[in-house]
Structure 1
């Protein structure tokens, strides 16, 4: 049996087992370990064992639980409430101003968390009731919150980019910096859409009543600004120390975690319940990521040993005669298809052994490709029928917001994400200029 057929059997077996509803890391790890034993005998068990040891020795992996802890601490201690109240008052006089403030809040929440789920939780518990109670269109509201929350996996310190960097063997600092301009570009396009849509249809985003705006003096607005800037100060101190070389990546994540505890204590929100809930959620998310990384490394080792990447490259570029950019388009279309059924980590684990080495073999910058992959993951969060954010939003919204409302609400934002993907594909410098310019110094 040829290696190409074996690789195909591995991939198809993995997809079939995923349909049974088993946990992703268990399926990936089992297929990889079983294939290693069947191909190379008892000695093949060294592959999964080596993958486990490699994970245990990966010092940068410590950043994952620390960044997750930082985000949950700021959310659980209600510091994010101050942030939203600031934007709520400052932008309330504009048509669609509260929706614009929600996007800006999501950018800052993303910059202190690195996960989409935290942005969704903050948006649904703080922004959603405020927007609906003030007459905002429910489709506009749910679309803004879902799209804004996805910025957490693109804007640094993105946990997804950390995971990608470890699997693709790329510097996390480069990936973070590569995600800055694309993330800001996407947020700006979201805001532009809100402004234009609410200008054409003012009833979708009415401004705050003048009586409510007049409740706050200029001094009170400044006080709200100081309270809302606490998360931004934490982010700037953490990333500033890292980018200036004062601290390593792991040390910077520790600075962020400790700073979040001090900020919660300063605000008066540091309680045993907050600490317990934050620690428990951090443990659950971190363990999930660790298992996924181990499974991906095991599966990838077998795939590399079979020469699957070289076979795919020969098929596309030799037998089919495709150009590298055509292969890239096919890869992205595959991502978009998988995104209708799987989340971002599942897609990374499934295609990492194949697509990341293939992108490198085709001559593409793997830092740039990491941004392309991450934007595709953002789209995956919002695409029916099984977009993760769609069901999370349905679980957190009141009964009057139906699932069809939620599905329709994401269409314009998915279109904006696709536009961003095309722009970065056509102009890679949007992603690569900042890391290249910074590290060139």
Structure 2
């Protein structure tokens, strides 16, 4: 068996172990070290030292020499170096800070105020509660970037309100599931930070490139909600005065000033400082974390228990991401050393496909991987396999990254493994069935594919802001 064939066996065995339920980060590290030991093994030299024909043969000295050679495998140096590289990566420093900002905002009782304000402000729009829920999800997802947290909290807050307002269960569920995934795409997205660290693309340019596609997707969601509410009023009846009372304009302005503007200002301050070049993503993340603490204090929601929970969840999630990176770096280094990367590159070149066909193939594979895997595992493990192929087809890694971010929305929305649906089902009233939630997310899945088509047809939707702010 040749070394490239061993590399493919390594990849296939890893996929099998993942499907069997083994922890992915530790599986990556074990596979990388195990196959790496074979790749870097210097067995013949050690065996000759053990069997040399002199007076030391078979003595403790020969045994110690052999044992030293056996343990002195370069894969251990590789593992240590890759671990240090990940932990010293300045881009990844922003991850815990943005996570802390999100967990603090989640516990600051901001979202319920925000939803109530937007619900009142949009009362006269068809599907007003759905529109308010989508905008709330977009803002909250932008502030947190944690899909499970957004879907769960909005499911507890907005879903009962929509059901009480006689909204169709499937329609209401789809709105919350789709809105909750927007944090993957809309900056300051944790996913984009991870992609930047994996690909070497500037995180600042990624943030700028993802802005317009994110707004396109939110706009498509809102158009669908409003359009269906007009064409099929029974799925989203207009709220009565008892359900959403009329509020004087002065009181409404106060509600907006105290609920919408603080969170919007925090998000704009973070993004503005990054895009304007006033702060690095890490510095902006620190501003966001401090701003989240100030908001929690301002809303009198900061307690020691909530602070401790936020710190604990931040450390746990950050550790997961970092160890995934360590495992992925070791795995990919060994995979490439054995010739697996070159073998895949040669195979793709032999297919004689166009850049469009390659993009469709790559996005289809990522779409299918989204069923059993989380976005972090797809970005850290599998996307690096595609990155060396981009130069062959003259595809910009920035453009590819935004398409991947759009595509990963589907990993949370595609039955039967739509994680957003399972998050929502876990806290939804008993009468809301999982099949209803699945049916509700399918139209939003179509909106994601439309957004991907728009981005491909109009690539300036990705490149305009990066070129405007930073030039070519």
Query: Which TM bucket (shorter chain)?
Result: over 0.9
Which shows bigger deviation, 240-249 or 9-18? 240-249
- Aligned match for 1:184, one of 209, 215, 237: 215
Partner of 2:31: 31
Counterpart CA distance in 1 for 2:29 and 2:213 is: 33
**Contact 2:354–2:393, Cα closer than 8 Å, also in 1:** no
RMSD: 1.5
**Alignment deviations for residues 283-311 of structure 1 (CA, whole Å, 9 cap, x no partner):** 22111111111111111212232343332
Matched, 1:168 2:199: yes
Counterpart CA distance in 2 for 1:416 and 1:244 is: 31
Partner of 1:83: 114
- Aligned match for 1:111, one of 139, 142, 153: 142
- Aligned with 1:362: secondary structure? coil
Counterpart CA distance in 2 for 1:129 and 1:179 is: 32
* 1:267-346 alignment, distance < 5 Å: 267-318=299-350, 320-346=351-377
Counterpart CA distance in 2 for 1:40 and 1:386 is: 39
Describe the shift of the 1:124–1:360 C-alpha distance in structure 2 as closer, same or farther (beyond 3 A).
farther
What is the CA-CA distance between 1:366 and the residue it aligns to? 0.4
Counterpart CA distance in 1 for 2:23 and 2:344 is: 27
What is the CA-CA distance between 1:211 and the residue it aligns to? 4.4
- Aligned match for 2:295, one of 254, 259, 263: 263
* 1:34-433 alignment, distance < 5 Å: 34-41=34-41, 42-227=73-258, 228-318=260-350, 320-433=351-464
Partner of 2:60: none
Counterpart CA distance in 2 for 1:356 and 1:177 is: 20
What is the CA-CA distance between 1:159 and the residue it aligns to? 0.1
* Corresponding pairs, count: 440
Which shows bigger deviation, 18-27 or 209-218? 209-218
Counterpart CA distance in 1 for 2:38 and 2:5 is: 14
Describe the shift of the 1:306–1:437 C-alpha distance in structure 2 as closer, same or farther (beyond 3 A).
farther
Output the TM-score relative to the length of structure 2: 0.90
Which shows bigger deviation, 193-202 or 352-361? 352-361
**Contact 1:340–1:386, Cα closer than 8 Å, also in 2:** yes
**Contact 1:113–1:152, Cα closer than 8 Å, also in 2:** yes
Counterpart CA distance in 1 for 2:397 and 2:75 is: 29
- Aligned with 1:207: secondary structure? coil
What is the CA-CA distance between 1:191 and the residue it aligns to? 0.5
If you compute each CA radius of gyration, which structure gives the higher value, 1 or 2? Answer: 2
**Alignment deviations for residues 9-58 of structure 1 (CA, whole Å, 9 cap, x no partner):** 01101011112211111112211221111111211222222110101211
- Aligned with 1:210: secondary structure? coil
Partner of 1:439: 470
What is the CA-CA distance between 1:430 and the residue it aligns to? 1.1
**Alignment deviations for residues 325-362 of structure 1 (CA, whole Å, 9 cap, x no partner):** 21221111111111122221122233133112222443
Partner of 2:51: none
**Contact 2:192–2:203, Cα closer than 8 Å, also in 1:** yes
Counterpart CA distance in 2 for 1:330 and 1:436 is: 28
Counterpart CA distance in 1 for 2:15 and 2:287 is: 40
- Aligned with 1:206: secondary structure? coil
Counterpart CA distance in 1 for 2:336 and 2:131 is: 46
Describe the shift of the 1:245–1:349 C-alpha distance in structure 2 as closer, same or farther (beyond 3 A).
closer
**Contact 2:127–2:236, Cα closer than 8 Å, also in 1:** yes
